[in-house]
Structure 1
Amino acid sequence: MIVGGIISTTRITHTICGIDVIFSDYRIAFYIFTGCMGLTFISAWFFEFECGRENRNKPVEMDETEENKRIKPAPDVLVAFRLFMSVHYGSWLVCIFFVGVCNGVIWGFLNWHLENIGASQFLIGCAVIINNISEVIMFFVVFPILERIGYFTFMVLGVIGYVARFCVFASLTNPWFVLPVEILQGFTFAGIWGAMIGYLCTVIPGENMATMQGILHGVYWGLGSGSGSMIGGIVTEHFGARVTFWSFAVATVFNLIIFVITQKLAAKPKRKYEEIDN
């Protein structure tokens, strides 16, 4: 919000070929970002970890009587991976890929669309603050909510939240109306992310959680968000931001329908992991 307010004061209008073009000095954002990263580097330098320099040469103590109980061979990673190649569990990865696409579109083109309909950089900064606060709050309360309504129901509500956001973005004429809608960011991003991580914990054994979270990050941030930015850019260039948001609202509805049908009709495959008797 502070950076947006500063940038708003730098706006100047130039007339090019008879057309008034508004310019803002966005270099200010990069200068402040660099300063913040410098402060972050200094503070991170003084972090102390449990296995710091003073503990590197200390032998690890283990209760030998408990050793055989605590150490088990890890199940094959491919077993857990193949589990998500089934129709039932694979539909979760497909859904998380698509919401990653949705995030790529929103993060890449919402602010541009808001500025085109008259939003100031201060307003855009306020919108960022609201969605960040909603994310923080949701990360604190998502798991108690999941315990009450379940992972599937929460995922469905989160995808519906994307449909609502896209419809509002496509219909906006007054950019200030985006502020209350940005509250849904916590639900659609932090909530869905927490639901997916929680669901993984119920399906994948603990020994393979790191691998599966890496796959989840790749599907969501790499394939999903990257594809969303690319596809959103192509559609926006040819048809404009409003058509882009309407298109993704419709596509999200189809994704939701397919996800619900798959979850209702596809049976859960049995999870067969090697069990070791103590």
Structure 2
Amino acid sequence: MALVAGKLVDIFGTNAIFVSYGVLVGLNVLVVQLFVQDIPAGPETAQGARRISTREWLADLWKIEPIWMLVNLLMYGLSTSLVENYLNVFLVQDFDNVPKVILGAATAVMCTFEIPVFKYIGDLWNKRGFSLVTVLWASEFVMVFRCLLYAILPRSHPWLVLLVEPLHGLTFAGVWTAVVEYARRLSRPGTEAKMQALISGIYFNVAFAAGSLIWGFVSQLPPAGIGFRRSFLLATWVQVSGATLGGCYKGFG
């Protein structure tokens, strides 16, 4: 739909974004109301394990594995928020005569390459013996490579960004699937939902909010900021720090 929306914006202007969004959300709500039914709790959930108190849960978090996971996730979210939230602004600002359909096409390519990664990356630790830390380390260094590519893209060839976007499969789906599995393994029975809510909040809310604010100032054109290309280079250093942390950590997988 992002690809279609990009073309609609080229034809009808930016109002096409809000009209199409409203129509699609309305259709989604209709589908939910008509076809999605509540699923009763299974026997295990209904009976439940021993209830874990908040104090016990917080004590579980104050250990090396959860602390490493949360700090690494925070650093990764800070660096990736530049790409996730400002890529379209970068394309419009730093390239010549960018049609809006490129913006939609970039999102379409990103989402397309998420699908196979979400489906198959679990085989790396379930069937092939790779540790979760190894998968995280490798995927995070792919983000380093991705940011470097953004920094050197020629201004006269904005379509080349579509050759970079397949990396999103690993830099989002790969990292996120591994983190979700990591959090599941760290959770005691009865605390799984809390842990998943915690990692989602840190990544999508705390890290993205802080990163968006920081990069919003840093990526401004000089002299107010350093511009997008230098911001991508700076993001590589942030990400190298996080990926090195993941690469140096041993003993959990």
**TM-score normalised over the length of structure 2:** 0.86
- Deviation digits for residues 118-140 of structure 1, max 9, x if unmatched? 33211111111111011122111
Corresponding letter in the other structure for 1:121: K
- Deviation digits for residues 86-139 of structure 1, max 9, x if unmatched? 234311111111222223211221111112213321111111111101112211
- Deviation digits for residues 140-167 of structure 1, max 9, x if unmatched? 1121123222201100011101101110
Q: Is residue 3 of structure 1 aligned with residue 21 of structure 2? A: no
Does the CA contact (< 8 Å) of 2:219 and 2:231 recur in 1?
yes
Corresponding letter in the other structure for 2:247: V
Q: 1:221 matched to which residue of 2?
A: 204
Residues in 1 aligned to 2:171 and 2:86: alpha-carbon distance in whole angstroms: 17
Alpha-carbon distance, 1:48 to partner: 4.0
Structure 1: unaligned runs, 5 residues or longer: 11-24, 53-59, 269-278
Which of 149, 155, 158 lines up with 1:175 in the alignment? Answer: 158
Does the CA contact (< 8 Å) of 2:113 and 2:166 recur in 1?
yes
Q: 1:240 matched to which residue of 2?
A: 227
SS at structure 2 position matched to 1:182: helix
Which of 53, 59, 63 lines up with 1:82 in the alignment? Answer: 59
Greater share of helix: 2
Equivalenced residues, count: 238
Does the CA contact (< 8 Å) of 1:146 and 1:195 recur in 2?
no
Q: 2:73 matched to which residue of 1?
A: 96
Which of 139, 147, 153 lines up with 2:118 in the alignment? Answer: 139
Alpha-carbon distance, 1:71 to partner: 4.6
Q: How many percent of aligned residue pairs carry the same amino acid?
A: 22
Residues in 2 aligned to 1:51 and 1:202: alpha-carbon distance in whole angstroms: 25
Corresponding letter in the other structure for 1:190: A
Which of 235, 239, 243 lines up with 1:252 in the alignment? Answer: 239
Alpha-carbon distance, 1:61 to partner: 11
- Deviation digits for residues 187-226 of structure 1, max 9, x if unmatched? 1111111101111222212310001111111111111111
Corresponding letter in the other structure for 1:181: V
Q: 1:125 matched to which residue of 2?
A: 104
Instruction: Calculate the aligned-residue CA RMSD, in Å.
Output: 2.3
Corresponding letter in the other structure for 1:2: V
Residues in 2 aligned to 1:193 and 1:51: alpha-carbon distance in whole angstroms: 26
Corresponding letter in the other structure for 2:204: W
Does the CA contact (< 8 Å) of 2:115 and 2:169 recur in 1?
yes
Residues in 2 aligned to 1:51 and 1:251: alpha-carbon distance in whole angstroms: 42
Alpha-carbon distance, 1:72 to partner: 3.2
Q: 1:197 matched to which residue of 2?
A: 180
User: Does the C-alpha gap of structure 1 residues 203 and 27 become closer, same or farther in structure 2, counting only changes over 3 Å?
Assistant: same
Report which of the two structures shows the higher radius of gyration computed on alpha carbons.
Answer: 1
Q: 2:89 matched to which residue of 1?
A: 112
Residues in 2 aligned to 1:134 and 1:80: alpha-carbon distance in whole angstroms: 36
Q: 1:272 matched to which residue of 2?
A: none
User: Does the C-alpha gap of structure 1 residues 112 and 204 become closer, same or farther in structure 2, counting only changes over 3 Å?
Assistant: same
Alpha-carbon distance, 1:77 to partner: 4.1
